[in-house]
Amino acid sequence: MNSRNNFRGLICVASLLVVAGTASANLIVNGDFELGNVGFASGYEYTAAPGGLGTGGEGGGAGKYGVGTSANFFHSAFTTVGDHTTGSGNMMVVNGSLMAGKTVWAGTVTPLMIGTTYQFSAWVMNVYPDSPAHLQFSFGGNTLGSPIIPTGNGVWQQFTANFVATINQSSGLIDLNVDSFGNDFALDDISLTALSDGNATAVPDGGLTVALLGLALVGVAGLRRKLAA
């Protein structure tokens, strides 16, 4: 009798572990940037140099990004707060572009289950307090929720929204801030997880790669005054 109860208990525990594992699987490659500058593409210029986000680029470091453990490493005026994942890992640090529609981050996920509900999530942080970015996520050409406007400096904030997958979908984030100063931020822990089928006949979209186009900045007209390195 005890053996039977123990066996049933093991079945229940195993089932819960399977469900938990399925619900928590992240479909984004290197969404926490712990692998470094890999697993995604960008229209921005990459820098690994100390102070690299304060010089060059489109002007004073604009239109550049770095991946590392400290925003302050890339610009002496940026916050010293660590990444969202562990506080000591990697994050993507961005100096906003002067050009309209330039893609900061783009990744791929395949396959999605058509008709399945997914949750998209990302963490953003101002790395300089003036004129914070206005960040609007989208998926499949449709906006997800309202723009997130990070508050303060060095404070991680989460964006999250749900959507039902269809074919030919891409996700993105645009910066609605058109101010000439500030607009410097970090990105970390991007995730895409399945919540529920919602459609008993849902099938994998094996013929398509679902592009995640992130942080496409709405342009700032003219030159922007950026921080000195």
- Domain membership of residue 7 (yes or no) is no
pLDDT for 106 equals 75
pLDDT for residue 120: 87
pLDDT tens, position by position, 132-141: 887 777 666 6
Single pTM value for the model: 0.75
Q: Encoding tokens for residue 181?
A: 């100063």
The CATH number that applies at residue 155 is 2.60.120.260
The pLDDT-based confidence of 228 (bands split at 50, 70, 90) is very low
- DSSP-derived pairing of the beta strands 216-217 and 170-175: parallel
Domain range enclosing 126: 26-217
pLDDT of residue 24: 52
Does a structural domain hold residue 8? no
Average pLDDT over residues 113-141: 84
Between 114 and 85, name the one with better pLDDT: 85
Is 101 part of any domain? yes
With 90 as the cut, is the pLDDT of residue 26 above it?
no
List all residues 6 or more positions away from 136 whose beta carbon is below 8 Å from its beta carbon.
Answer: 143, 146, 147, 148, 173, 174, 175, 176
2 belongs to a structural domain: no
pLDDT of residue 187: 94
Is residue 10 predicted with pLDDT exceeding 60? no
Residue 111 lies in a domain: yes
Question: Cis bond leading into 132, ω under 30°?
Answer: no
Question: Token pair of 26, please?
Answer: 């992240």
227: in domain: no
Most confident range, picked from 66-80, 149-163, 202-216: 66-80
Does 17 fall in a domain? no
Structural element, H or E, at residue 45: strand 45-46
Q: How many domains does the chain have?
A: 1
Residue 111 clears pLDDT 80, i.e. is over it = no
More confident position, 118 or 89: 89
Listed range (15-29, 34-48, 87-101, 212-226) with the worst mean pLDDT: 212-226
Contact status, residue 192 vs residue 119, Cβ threshold 8 Å:
yes
pLDDT at position 9, please?
A: 39
Of the segments 101-105, 147-151, 157-161, 173-177, which one has the largest average pLDDT value?
157-161
- Tell me if 223 is assigned to some domain: no
pLDDT at residue number 198:
54
pLDDT for 205? 37
**Which of 6-10, 110-114, 175-179, 214-218 tops mean pLDDT?**
110-114
